[in-house]
Structure 1
Amino acid sequence: MPKVGMEEIRKQQVIEATERCIIEKGFSNMSVKDIAMEANVSTGIIYHYFKNKEDVLLQVIKRSFAKSHERVMETVEPLETFEEKLHKHIENINSVPKDNPDFYAVLLNYLGQAKNNPEINMVIAKFFKNLRKYIETYSQNGVTSGKVNPDKIKHLPALVIGLGMGIGIQWIIDQDAFDIDDIEKAFINIINVYINK
């Protein structure tokens, strides 16, 4: 019988090893055996704590999204005004490629699987839905204060996410293409022009 708390430690160990395997080998080029070797556990341990390989893979993407959400809650939520929240959120999105490039490596692997895997599709769709809803929620403060055109709120969340992730993916693929820090100002300016009354 495992010691109290050992289950969570083992699960975390396997999830972290799986993420490393995805980054190093790619989603479709890794096996449970690879994960076990990376985690320094037996394949039996993996099957003891997870239903199958797909279950482990789902936990990796959920963990990645949870870490992203925690960062937003720590840095954006405490701010008071719409402008502060929006600019800090854009700063966070823009910093992911530099501060957490593995996020994009993992996300790109999962996006490639989403069309053919309903569970992965559902997890990714939920992540984007929650992110859009959060942006929409704090944007209502901008409408209430008269600083944002109410007609612009409908598409603002998708535009912020699309522009931010598009910039991040481009920079991860080709870091010589542009200065990621410099482009943040242009990102904010584009969004400010869009929402301006």
Structure 2
Amino acid sequence: MPKLGMEPKRRADVINATLTCISKHGIDGMTLDKVAEYADCSKGVVTYYFKNKDNLTSEAFQAFLAYYGLKIGSDIENTMTAQEMMDVTLTHILPPYVNDKEKRINVSQLDGIAEMYIPHEDQARLFVQFFSKAALDPKLQEVVANSYARDLQGITKIFEYGKQTGLMSVEDSQSAAYGLMAMVVGLSFFRVAGVSPANSEDNRYICEDFVRQMTNRR
């Protein structure tokens, strides 16, 4: 049993270690023993919080998906325009290419949301691992459905705000949000597969163009 008062940190360490393990070895290659090694704890600590691999995988997937909403929510301010809010959203859900290999996975809020981070390559690997597994796992499908329902609701509100303030021309905010999310998912897969746009630029500009077409700029 973990030391008294260490529970939140130990649990966070195990989740971060699980995501690191999955990024390096895949879900099939992730074991409780390997997670314990990455978390620098005993296997008993891992099973104290998460009874088996399936439970741990589900919890890690939820933490992975929640990361994006937390980062977006912390950076959006009420004084922003709808376009500025959308820029923040796109920066997090389809981040620009950067060389951040020296950074480690951290989806824990214990040190503040600003300290949370998932390196670019890890994001891509985790995305493929979790979503490919979810295609055959009803429990993971439920995790995706619940997470994306929240994301769609948030993005819909931004489009609706842009419509109400006259800065965006949107007929159906929900459909626009759905289309943008579908585009992000597709572009994420293209990134992992190495399918670049014809001009070889970072493919996130495609999402930006989609939003720009609905933005009334003078």
- Given candidates 156, 179, 182, the residue that maps to 2:201 is 179
Q: Does 1:40 align with 2:40?
A: yes
Structure 2 length as normaliser, TM-score? 0.77
User: How far does residue 176 in structure 1 lie from its aligned partner after superposition?
Assistant: 6.6
Instruction: Please tell me the residue identity of whatever aligns with 2:145.
Output: A
User: How far does residue 142 in structure 1 lie from its aligned partner after superposition?
Assistant: 1.7
Q: Which residue does the alignment assign to 2:184?
A: 164
Instruction: Please tell me the residue identity of whatever aligns with 1:67.
Output: Y
Aligned length: 194
User: CA separation in 1, counterparts of 2:53 and 2:147?
Assistant: 21
Q: Percent identity?
A: 20
Q: Which residue does the alignment assign to 1:5?
A: 5
User: CA separation in 2, counterparts of 1:58 and 1:156?
Assistant: 29
User: How far does residue 154 in structure 1 lie from its aligned partner after superposition?
Assistant: 2.7
Q: Which residue does the alignment assign to 1:14?
A: 14
Instruction: Write 1 or 2 for the structure with the bigger share of helix.
Output: 1
CA deviation vs aligned residue, 1:77-122 (integer Å, no higher than 9, x gap): 4442212212332233331664533122112111112133222111
Greater shift in the superposed pair: 132-141 or 31-40: 31-40
- Given candidates 99, 102, 125, the residue that maps to 2:145 is 125
Instruction: Within 5 Å, give how 1:69-84 maps onto structure 2.
Output: 69-84=69-84
User: CA separation in 2, counterparts of 1:82 and 1:58?
Assistant: 33
- CA root-mean-square deviation: 2.5
CA deviation vs aligned residue, 1:52-90 (integer Å, no higher than 9, x gap): 111111221122122211210122344422122123322
Query: Tell me, which stretches of 5 or more residues in structure 2 are unaligned?
Result: 99-118
Seen in structure 2, the aligned counterparts of structure 1 residues 120 and 158 have a Cα distance that, compared at 3 Å, is: same
Query: Tell me, which stretches of 5 or more residues in structure 1 are unaligned?
Result: none
User: CA separation in 1, counterparts of 2:40 and 2:66?
Assistant: 25
1:79–1:85 Cα contact (<8 Å) kept = no
User: How far does residue 48 in structure 1 lie from its aligned partner after superposition?
Assistant: 1.4
